[in-house]
Structures are given as C-alpha cells and as structure tokens.
Amino acid sequence: MFFVRFLRKGSGVISFGRWYGGLSPSERKLQIFAGLLVLVSIISLWIPWGDSSPREVVIEIDCSRSLSHYAKILQIPPKSLARELGKPLNVSKKKPLTELAISSKDLEEAIHHLRSHRSSSGKYFLYVAFSFWGFTLLRNSGKEGRALPGGIRTTSLVLSVFIVGFLTGKSPNPMESVVKVFKAFAGLYNDPLSKMGFFLFFGALAIIGNKIVCGWACPFGALQELIYRCSGKNRKVPFLLSNGMRVILFIGMLLFLFGIVGGQKGFVLYHGINPFNLFNFHLDSLSLKIAVVAYLLASLFLYRPFCSFICPFGLVSWGLEQCSLKKIIIDHKTCTACRACMNKCPNQAMEDRIKKAKLPCDCFSCGNCLGSCSFSSIRYGS
C-alpha cells in the first residue's frame, strides 16, 4: 500500500502542485532516497555516454594559411576566430595569418581556448540531476518547521564542484548560456538557434525551482558557497549595490560586444574574468588568475560575490525568479518579523521578502532559512 500510494503521488509529477503534497515522514525519506537514486543513475549514465563531442583532430599550425582555413577545421564562423585572436570582425579572412600579424603561438592559444568551450551533451543531464536533487530536498524540508540538514547541503555542494565542475570541465555552464545568445546575435556563431536552446534550458531550470540551478548545480556558485560556509563570516552587501554593478557590467558587455563602445565588435567583457575556466585548469591570462583568486577570497566573507556582483546568468535568473514555479514562501499572516530567518539568510533575500520589497534580492534556494521559523511561516512551495 505504501509503495502504491507513493507511486500514485509520483504520477503527479506532471502536476507540480500535487507531486510533493501531504507525504508522511517515511514517504518523504523515500522521496529523498528516490532523488538520490535519480542523481546517481544519471551520473552513472553520463560517465560512459556523456561526451558526445567529436574527436579532436590534431591541427597543424601554419601561419601561411588563412583564418577561413582554420575556422573551417574548427567548424566556427571565421568572425569568431578573428574575435578570439583579438582582430576586428571585418579583418580579411583570406589573407595569410602572417600578413595579419598573427603568430603561431596566438593561433595555438586561440584554438585551445575555443576547444575548451566545446560542451559535452551529457553534462546537461548532470544539471538536471543536481537541480532535481536540490528541489527534492527543499520540498521535504521546511514542512513542519524542519531544517535542511547542513551535512547534506555541504555534501551536495562538494559533489557539484567536483562532478559538474572539475570532472566535466567548464562547458556548458549557465553563465556562458547567456553570453552565447548575444554572441550569436553579433554573428559569432553559425547556429544561433542552438544557443537560444542552450539558454532556454538553463532558464527553464531557474524558473522551475527559483534559481535552483544556481543554488544546487552550478559548480562555481557551489565553490563560492562552500568557502563562505567554511569561513563562517557574513557581511551582507546592499542589494542595490551588488545588483547595480551586475546591471552595469551586463550593459557594458552588450555595448562592447556590438561595437557601440570601443569600436571593435565582438569584444566580450566577461572573457578575461570568467571563473569557469578554473574547471578546465585553464587560467591562461593574468586577469583570469587575479579574478578567480579575488572571487574566492571575497567568498570568505561575502555570499557568492561573483554571482551577486558579476554573473550575467545571476542577473537574468534574478529576473526569472519573478515567475518561479516553486520558491520560498512566507505566510505573512503568521510571520511576526522576528528576524530569525533573516539572520539565517546569507544575503538580503529573506529580509526583502518579509518586507515585501518590490525588487527583492536574489534567493539562491540554499534552504538556510527553512526550519528557522518558530511559527512555521516559511516553506518551499508554490
């Protein structure tokens, strides 16, 4: 009977409203176990089948060849290679590279970097698995005032850093999903539709569980949060300041990318400060090294500094939060604004929600606030 009931509830997965409702404690344990099982199964499926990228051919470096020649081998538009080499997008694609003052070292580095962006399609399953796992845990905590077990949260973050990060490399990741859409509009990709699909995938995950992909699956988000949790320090920065900087950088990125500022179409502002390169062990420039060290040091006392101040997906998913299907819900009728949950929240998200701010700070669905309310006024739900 127990399993029949569980399966019957499970069949409500299509209807998000019914899927988790009204389970007994033992059923919830089973549900957590099921979430874990799905996570492990998807990971094990990914290991043999995940990497669908074509075998990389050895490219012979010869600077008497043209940009078009190498772009064809790499299966990218010549403009994209020109941008990678720091040349204007309208540079001649037929001339020998020597005539364009491109050295073999420049070309090697550009090829290496472009190849590091190749995605393994199996990694998408990992994002789904980790998001689903977080979603299951959040739904099972908070009910009847129960907290999310800290050990489980920490373990999930560690797994995300190593499996979604170091084990599988930097691509795909939510940050580049946003940047690639705009790069496609600037003519830097042959397949703008696939870039749009790439973004929609991460956008959908952010909508389903209120930034659940950031909170539970993104490896750089997880790494920052782990450092923050270890340090035990917490300085909350006004959301207006952190979000203001994120917006300015995003607008700056668009202005440079489309050549409205700087006069060189195709320049990507985030390129030299993209921390996801860490997962490919490819911090090739000084700016990348400094940026990553700065993000990690800042994480000692700020909650997710890169996400809050810089990440374009952080900004876009903050907008998407407004239509999230599942999120932290406060029962304002029973809430006494005692600040217990606000003290648990690593940023301004809970305070803004209690105060019903019009533009509340991002909630990363970390689950810290669950179980903190003596009046059971907080839950994760619709």
164 lies in the binding site for ligand SF4 (CB under 6 A): no
Pairing of the two strands 327-330 and 378-381: antiparallel
From 3-11, 17-25, 53-61, 217-225, give the range in contact with ligand SF4 by CB under 6 A: 217-225
Which residues is 381 bridged to in the sheet?
A: 327
Residue number with CB closer to ligand SF4 (32 or 217): 217
How far is it, in rounded angstroms, from Cα 286 to Cα 303? 25
Alpha-carbon distance of 242 to 308, in angstroms, equals 6
Give 151: exposed, middle or buried? Use CB within 10 Å, 0-12, 13-18, 19+.
Answer: exposed
Cβ neighbours of residue 142 closer than 8 Å, sequence gap 6 or more = 148, 367, 370, 371, 378, 379, 380, 381
Is residue 161 near ligand SF4 by the rule CB under 6 A? no
Binding mask 239-278 for ligand SF4 (x = CB under 6 A): ----------------------------------------
| Identity of the amino acid at 372 | S
Q: Which of 153, 368, 373, 377 binds ligand SF4 (CB under 6 A)?
A: 368
Please give the size of the binding site for ligand SF4, defined by CB under 6 A: 25
Which residue from 174, 203, 305, 371 is in contact with ligand SF4, where contact means CB under 6 A? 174
Collapsed DSSP state (helix, strand, coil) of residue 327:
strand
Burial 328-358 (b: 16+ CB within 10 A, else e): bebeeeeeeeeebbbebbbbbbbbbbbeeee
Q: How many CA atoms lie within 13 A of 355 on its CB side?
A: 12
The verdict on 205 binding ligand SF4 (CB under 6 A) reads no
* Residue 248 neighbours by CB distance under 10 Å: 10
Q: At its nearest, how many Å lie between ligand SF4 and the CB of residue 197?
A: 17
Q: Please give the Cα distance from 133 to 34 (Å, whole number).
A: 9
Residue closer to ligand SF4 by CB (options 42, 350) is: 350
Amino acid at 159: L
364 binds ligand SF4 (CB under 6 A): yes
Residue 305 binding ligand SF4, by CB under 6 A? no
Should residue 316 be labelled a site residue for ligand SF4 when binding is judged by CB under 6 A?
no
Among 31, 131, 160, 365, binds ligand SF4 (CB under 6 A): 365
314 binds ligand SF4 (CB under 6 A): yes
Nearest-approach distance from CB 311 to ligand SF4, in angstroms: 3
Instruction: Find the part of the chain contacting ligand SF4 (CB under 6 A) among 29-37, 46-54, 112-120, 307-315.
Output: 307-315
For ligand SF4, the nearest residue by Cβ is 221
363 interacts with ligand SF4 by CB under 6 A: yes
Q: Which residues in this chain contact ligand SF4 in the complex, by CB under 6 A? A: 174-175, 214, 218, 220-221, 304, 306-307, 311, 313-314, 328, 344-345, 347, 349-350, 363-369
